[in-house]
Structure 1
Amino acid sequence: MTSHRPHAGQDGPYAQGAYEPDGTFEAAVEQLADPLNDPLPGQHTSPWFRTDTTQADGEARQTPQTEAQGPVEPPGEWYDPEGYQRDWYGHQGPEAAPASNTVRGTAVTPGPVAPAPVSAAPGPAPVLAVHDPGPGQPAGEVGAVLNDETVALRTTDTRRASQPSRSGAPDPAPEPPPTGGRAERRRAAKGRGGRRGEPRRTVEAESAESAESAGPAVPMSRLEARRAARAAKDSPAVVASRVVGEVFITFGVLMLLFVTYQLWWTNIRADQIAGRETNKIQDDWANGDRSPGAFEPGQGFAILHIPKLDVVAPIAEGISKEKVLDRGMIGHYGEGKLKTAMPSAEQGNFAVAGHRNTHGEPFRYINKLKPGDPIVVETQDAYYTYEMASILPQTSPSNVAVIDEVPAGSGFTGPGRYVTLTTCTPEFTSTYRMIVWGKMVDERPRSKGKPDALVG
């Protein structure tokens, strides 16, 4: 700012004598506050106004160039590099002058400060940032080197450090900023989750903010509600596929239950029924309630023993599936055209039938019998022992000649006392029949005890 001073010899209020000695006018002008040229503490905006002299009391005085001191020599450039550096970055001394006031949150000195010796080395000096005094720190104390920004362009971390927390407790020390340029600081800020000093926002926080910004839900109209309900319903194809899937699942469960019933439960039930029938027959014999002769269909009258297969099963009259075979018993062909002789007959073929699989399966392993293996029929009066003679692995169910008085295919050439065992084959089917024949070798009254085949 250039002083407006009166010319020499001018009369009136602007005469030389109105402002007393030279320099008073300039001192008065300097005390005016100019917001556009407000200098930093202890400095001037113009390089021509330097602190060149220091009084004895330690306060710096500005002695501007006047006409009496000679013509002003402008600098070689339009600004003084060393003065510009000292004006904006402060004095480069080991200690700073004590502060007594604060301007915009920054501790400054109330008046001009003594100049510090300027280094003769070229280039900018390191920057010292002046910050607000923290707890236990005097005002105006020079802080540590933060970055290459000036005091007027401080970062968010520096401003946060200079402001006390609401709770009164000092804030934790901010993390040191990067020492690089602006691009590096931006990259570091992005790596921390946003702007410097701001914590990284999580997905939950962003969803909560979006929900708050969305506001309350607007109720749908009746038409929109109907459309939404119609869209939520499943299509006919989806419903049909779901029904088909449920049917298949139900069918599979039922098949599994049926197989379990056939292969496991029927055997348990048949064994229980056959066991009770065997005990009943033996009790009747012991009490003398039964006698040889004709028997009603389904009535038990004998017990079959196959020692090699560990089979002990009751023999009932008839081959009814429901009354005899499915109850775990062995049926005697004694009705109609399929009627055969009893064991006590002088000659004939005692033919019986039984299940190979399920329902007690008494004939399941008769295919393992070998010629000579004993087959014993126990009645109320005697034990009839047969020896296995031959086997027909497979034949048609309609081949009834296998139970004739002289069985066809058995190898027997004439009448005799024979036994015939018939069952289904292959296993778990009823497509064909398997036939096993035997010839009587011993008849032993009960009074003489059990035969050797059952004792051994």
Structure 2
Amino acid sequence: MRERIPVVVQGRRTRRSRAARALWTAAELAVTLGAVLLLLVVHQLWWTNRQAQHAARDQVGRLERQWDARPPAPGPAPVPGDDGPGARTAPGAAPSGPPAHRTGNRTTAPPEDLAYAVLRIPRIGLTAPVAQGVAKAAVLNRGYVGHYPHSAQPGRAGNAALAGHRNTHGEPFRRLDRLRPGDTVLIDTAEARYTYAVRRTLPRTTPGDGTVLAAVPYSSVHPAYHFTAPGAYLTLTTCTPEYTSTYRLVVWAVLRSTQSR
């Protein structure tokens, strides 16, 4: 009898092994990609907040130490013949209170990106430095609140407009939507403390609704939200809904009192 040589068919097994290796490789890539994405999320949502909040607290402390170390500023010169707390200020005397830098009798805006004030909102437990400008890298991503350069300075007539992150990078305006009419907003500077009272909140408007920053603020998108008389306003803006930048949340406040340091 002739001995038969067995025939081994390997094609199907080879295809299966290749498919298994491809699936394994794809699974490894998916796990690696997932780990990288998870690290990015942790960095963005936790680490940037930790860094920015620490830096912001440190900046607030430095500002307060600088202010405490300053000698008291001389008061305005009284007009001859006037006595007591009701005395009038002499013509040409420097007014008190603007959180801007002074050069002689000329008031200038604070240098770009410089922290020069502290914003406090008791309702939401916020204490954050205020810097000139709203650039992300130089101001907002550091956990600071940014002052719109072309708006009024805090305590001045007009509209002092501020912006801050709602999520990541310190997220100072995370709970801005919790403010209610009558809530107190404080801005401390080297010269004075300005106390504002929240007047109204615009829950959602478009990023292009720039009239909310006008000297007498109003919404061109939502006309029912408006002010009609000149005053000393404060506007707080941030992104909404959370974790997006689709719309803007706006809170308006009005100046209630000024206390010199």
Contact 2:101 2:109 in 1 (8 A): no
Matched, 1:340 2:151: yes
Distance in 2 separating the partners of 1:261 and 1:371: 36
1:358 to 148, 154, 168: 168
Structure 2 unaligned runs (5+)?
1-9, 72-99, 103-107, 220-224
Aligned to 2:111: 296
- By relative contact order (CA 8 Å, sep 6+), the higher-ranking structure is 2
Task: Deviation per CA, 1:183-242: give whole Å up to 9, x if none.
Answer: xxxxxxxxxxxxxxxxxxxxxxxxxxxxxxxxxxxxxxxxxxxxx9xx899843233222
Structure 1 unaligned runs (5+)?
1-227, 447-456
1:264 to 46, 53, 63: 46
Contact 1:401 1:408 in 2 (8 A): yes
Q: Secondary structure at the match of 2:169?
A: coil
Contact 2:237 2:250 in 1 (8 A): yes
- Partner amino acid for 2:147? H
1:309 Cα deviation from its structure 2 partner:
0.9
1:285 to 67, 80, 91: 67
Distance in 2 separating the partners of 1:396 and 1:312: 27
Matched, 1:427 2:242: yes
- The number of residue pairs the alignment matches comes to 213
Please report the TM-score for the alignment, with normalisation by the length of structure 1. Answer: 0.44
2:218 to 402, 408, 411: 408
Structure with greater strand percent: 2
Aligned to 2:197: 387
- Partner amino acid for 2:32? T
1:263 Cα deviation from its structure 2 partner:
1.8
Distance in 1 separating the partners of 2:125 and 2:151: 26
1:283 Cα deviation from its structure 2 partner:
2.4
Task: Deviation per CA, 1:130-165: give whole Å up to 9, x if none.
Answer: xxxxxxxxxxxxxxxxxxxxxxxxxxxxxxxxxxxx
Aligned to 2:187: 377
Please report the TM-score for the alignment, with normalisation by the length of structure 2. Answer: 0.76
1:247 to 16, 25, 29: 29
Q: Which structure's CA Rg is the greater one?
A: 1
Q: Secondary structure at the match of 1:430?
A: coil
1:417 to 228, 232, 235: 232
Distance in 2 separating the partners of 1:257 and 1:408: 42
Distance in 1 separating the partners of 2:206 and 2:173: 18
- Partner amino acid for 2:21? V
**Identical residues among aligned pairs (%):** 42
- Partner amino acid for 2:30? F
- Cα–Cα, structure 1 residues 373 and 344, in superposed 2: closer, same or farther, change >3 Å? closer
Aligned to 1:324: 139
Distance in 2 separating the partners of 1:284 and 1:233: 74
Q: Secondary structure at the match of 1:279?
A: helix
